[in-house]
Amino acid sequence: MFGWLIRLIMIPAGIIAGWLVAKDAPNFGIVQLSVALLLLVFIVAVIAFSSRFDEKRPNNRP
């Protein structure tokens, strides 16, 4: 189960890293890991901030 979550993050990270460096470059894994961490931070931030905006939304609309 945990492997599927990692794979779902690493596939788009590999695509984005492929835009930045060549896939056979020695630092491709480092760039892919950096992009994956940025994607993970972005996903967590979206989830965290979306719950804050739901609290501010009024429940009783006329």
Domain ranges of the chain: 2-56
Residue 43: its pLDDT value, please?
93
Residue 59: its pLDDT value, please?
63
Residue 46: its pLDDT value, please?
92
The residue with greater pLDDT, 17 or 58, is 17
Q: Give residue-wise pLDDT tens across range 2-57.
A: 889 889 999 999 999 999 999 999 999 999 999 999 999 999 999 888 877 666 66
Residue 34: its pLDDT value, please?
96
Q: Classify each residue of 30-61 as buried b or exposed e, where b means 16 or more C-beta atoms within 10 Å of its C-beta.
A: ebbeebbeebeeeeeeeeeeeeeeeeeeeeee
